[in-house]
Structure 1
Amino acid sequence: MTYEFTPADVRFLRSSAGVSAVAAVSELPLTSASLLADVATARRLVGEHAGPVLETVLLRRRAAAKVDSPADWLFTDTALQQATAMPVARHRAARFAGHAVHDVTCSVGVDLAALAEVADRCAGSDLDEVRLAMAAHNVSAPLVRADALRPVTRDIAVFVDPARRDSAGRRRWHASDFVPPLDALADAYRGRDLAVKCAPGMDFAELPWTGEVELVSLDGQVREACLWTGAFAGPARRATVLRTGSTAWTVTSDDPGDCPVGEAGEWLVDPDGAVVRAGLVRQYAARLGFWQLDERIAYLTGDAKPPGVRAFRVLEQGHYSEKSLRQALRRRAVGRVEILVRGLDVDPNTLRPRLKLSGTEAATVVLTRVGRTPKAYVCTES
């Protein structure tokens, strides 16, 4: 069970007494082994405020993957789960640089903080009184309590992050199930420059959207889709790949997509998930000078290792069966194997122990199909 904050809790946490209480409880380990004793200590230290103080300390420890300087932030559990990782929020905010923008579902202010760094002017609003009070602590921007479907600003860009989980925490996959729904948002802000954050697992072909759909990944994990319309919209599809400590790159539906299909070359590439989800595998292949093994499968192949891309050198290939793969790995004294699968009903975690590996070498196995033929590629990453 998570703690449900009240407006009074937020007022306390923002006070000097609350800051001191959080600092004191932050010294406790709060591990699974020490939790019962630490809770008792927290109750002795801060009395009736132990609940919100403990929850704040725990949430701040989890927030390191989402925001800078999490020790300065206030969160609820649900708001932290739904918050955008700051590198992704900053990437999105960059399109609003120099413009005025209203975050109409600002929650505790993570996206609003990124917007405030670059926008000419920005404001936030939300219906949740507690989250709005936390946002006032977290971000220096004008805030107002308001329904996202009842605009309180005019003639400026709008960013929306609709709720995509029901009361039981289950994901909502259809735009009509968003809170607020996508079609209602489009109606409420018709004629405005609008950006809507969505889940990357949606079926974008079914979206009632005529602008741009951007898929964004961070360090190999697809984090979000963003729908853009108005002046901020570009090509119909865009994939943006972010890497910590590295330069971002993009590929779009306007890029050349001339991509042949053929036998495996010396190298294989498994495209970033954002590229795959955006349906831009052919455009990405053309950029690399690679081709596809099969027009329906995302694996790409070529004869030269592309710079800055994780690629696998093909050592041997053949028809896939467990027996033949086991023999190939034994011949190469492979004892550690990464298994990548597309287009076949194979669970790597189930297959790995059945291979009964005992060697000293490492390899990557790519399992896929070419036409109707199951294929195995034994590779090394270099």
Structure 2
Amino acid sequence: MEMAELTALLTPEGLRLLDAQAPVESSDDVAHAVTRLRRAGHSPELVSAVVGQARLRSRARLKFGDLADRMLFTRAGLEQSTRLSVAVRHAARFREAGVTTVADLGCGIGGDALGLAGLGLRVDAVDADDVTAAVAAFNLAPFGTDTSVRHARAEDVDLSGVYGVWLDPARRTTGRTETSRTEAHEWSPSLDWSFAVADRLPTGIKLGPGLDRNLLPTTGEAQWVSADGSTIELVQWSRELARPGVRRAALVLRGETAHELSAADDAADEPVRTLGAFVHEPDGAVIRARLIGDVARTLDAGMLDPRIAYLTSDSALTSPFVSTFRVRETLPVDEKRLAAALRARDIGRLEIKKRGVDVDPAALRPRLKLRGSASATLILTRVADTRVAILADRV
């Protein structure tokens, strides 16, 4: 969003139009809304701002629920913002550690600051982008003097009198998704600066989950978080915010339910086993935290291959940290023979999962030309350098 659009929006007329706008969820909705508002005589800048915000609010409900309907967003800010349910968990760490005032450095549209303020903490927030800082100030306005937002660089903030810090360094490279691998030089402020702050003050640093683990400090707690099957972030916690004896953690959120696995270090893997009655796929947060071995031991499972994150067992045990599949049989890997085998089994709806093989499931599915009435899961992977195709059913 440009400052001119935000200025047009932050008027009584603009906010009334936005609050009265029906949900905008498709390209057709955009076209209809633009036509209606332009015919009513509103300026192009205001129409663009209102319709753009209405569409972002519709998308934001996935992260912010009904609260999205009273918030403002930038496209990049919404993409990079923390889900409210996760932000509240972050805030709880600070409150439980006795931290009462938090400097939110790189606050974006204010997602984490909402969680902090909502739990009664004072928040001093900054963002290096002037439009984003203005959007955050609007979103945090209901908390009054308990929050402040200003346009500033994180590195320029005076941290004296601050009890804790939340840092969300910006990705310098555009076009990244939540799960993209991001290198050290692609963060602003730099990781060196961020980790130096964490040495001095209780700090949580939100990072991309694919960050090179060798860049993480040797002290503190690294917590990978997944939500509804997507690994969304890595948080490096320091000082009082890091739990004693915990250096690796995987937090798995499924709707309103949370499960966590933690350890003092990376877990040793279990030995390789031959394919059993079940295949288990560890959650992405468990894989990133390298706690696959701990999960395997709870399932009486072993690795299917030492380099690939699939487990196998003969036990019907399952876990919130894995997706479990009951093995039917192995099928030919050759595409033509595989298609024939699936058609012979009346498979028409096929979930395709893969690890360790160069296959694009979206491209493979139409080539299989399936038209049956049954459903199944196809797991494509490698075992001892041999490609295998496992037909299975989700448990």
TM-score between both structures, scaled by the size of structure 2: 0.85
Q: Is residue 146 of structure 1 aligned with residue 152 of structure 2?
A: yes
| Structure 1: distance between partners of 2:24 and 2:11 | 24
Letter in 2 for 1:88: V
Amino acid at match of 1:273: G
Contact 1:96–1:118, Cα closer than 8 Å, also in 2:
no
Flag structure 2 segments of 5+ consecutive residues without an equivalent.
Answer: none
Residue 45 of structure 2 is aligned to residue 58 of structure 1 = no
> Is the 1:64–1:70 contact (alpha carbons within 8 Å) kept by the matching residues of 2?
yes
**Paired position in structure 1 for 2:377:** 364
Moved more, 63-72 or 86-95: 86-95
Residues in 2 aligned to 1:182 and 1:64: alpha-carbon distance in whole angstroms = 31
Whichever residue aligns with residue 285 of structure 1, its letter is A
Match of 1:240 in 2: 251
In structure 1, what is the equivalent of residue 87 of structure 2? 89
Pairing 1:49-128 to 2, within 5 Å after superposition: 49-68=46-65, 69-98=67-96, 99-100=99-100, 101-118=102-119, 120-128=121-129
**What is the alpha-carbon distance in structure 1 between the residues aligned to residue 323 and residue 25 of structure 2?**
39
Distance 1:30 1:324 in 2: 42
- 1:315 deviates by 1.1
Q: How does 1:207-356 map to 2 (within 5 A)?
A: 207=216, 210-234=219-243, 235-252=246-263, 254=265, 257=268, 259-302=270-313, 303-306=315-318, 308=320, 310-317=323-330, 320-356=333-369
Q: Is the CA contact (8 Å cut-off) linking 1:109 and 1:138 kept in structure 2? A: yes
- CA apart distance, 1:12: 5.7
Once the 2 structures are TM-superposed, how far is the Cα of residue 17 of structure 1 from its aligned partner? Answer: 3.2
Q: Note the C-alpha offset of 1:119.
A: 5.2
- AA at the equivalent of 1:23: D
Question: How far is the alpha carbon of 1:73 from its aligned partner?
Answer: 0.6
Distance in 2 (CA, whole Å) between partners of 1:330 and 1:28 is 42
Structure 1 unmatched runs, 5+: none
Distance 2:264 2:331 in 1: 33
Indicate the residue corresponding to 1:157 in structure 2. Answer: 164
1:131 — aligned with what? 132
Give 1:208 deviation, angstroms.
5.2
Cross-structure match for 1:42: 37
Paired amino acid for 2:294 = Q
Q: Are the counterparts in 2 of residues 340 and 367 from structure 1 also a CA contact under 8 Å?
A: yes
| 8 Å CA contact 1:217, 1:274 repeated in 2 | yes
Deviation digits for residues 356-381 of structure 1, max 9, x if unmatched?
A: 43432211111211112222221122
What is the rounded CA distance, in whole Å, between the counterparts of 1:147 and 1:55 in structure 2?
27
1:240-279 Cα shifts (integer Å, max 9, x gaps): 1111132333344548646232112211111111111222
User: For residue 131 of structure 1, what is the amino acid of its counterpart?
Assistant: T
C-alpha RMSD of matched pairs (Å): 2.7
Cα offset for 1:224?
1.0
Please state how far the C-alpha of 1:172 moved relative to its aligned partner: 7.8
User: Distance between the aligned counterparts of 1:284 and 1:251, measured in 2?
Assistant: 11
- Matches of 1:276 and 1:102, distance apart in 2: 31
Separation in 2 of the partners of 1:262 and 1:31? 49
Answer whether contact 2:380 2:388 (CA < 8 A) is retained: yes
User: For residues 72 and 356 of structure 1, do their structure 2 counterparts lie closer, same or farther at Cα, with a shift above 3 Å needed?
Assistant: closer
Quick check: 207-216 or 107-116, which moved more?
Answer: 207-216
CA deviations on 1:162-190 (whole Å, 9 max, x unpaired) are 11143x54578212221111112223554
Q: 1:334, CA displacement in angstroms?
A: 2.0
1:189, 1:358 → 2: CA distance?
Answer: 56
Q: Is the CA contact (8 Å cut-off) linking 1:317 and 1:376 kept in structure 2?
A: yes
Aligned residues: 376
Offset, 1:14: 4.6
Aligned residues with identical type, % of pairs: 37
In structure 1, distance between residues paired with 2:181 and 2:333: 37
Partner residue, 1:202: 211
Distance in 1 between residues matched to 2:107 and 2:277, nearest whole Å? 49
Query: Alignment partner for residue 17 of structure 2, among 18, 21, 32?
Result: 21
Whether the 8 Å CA contact 2:272–2:302 is kept in 1: the answer is yes
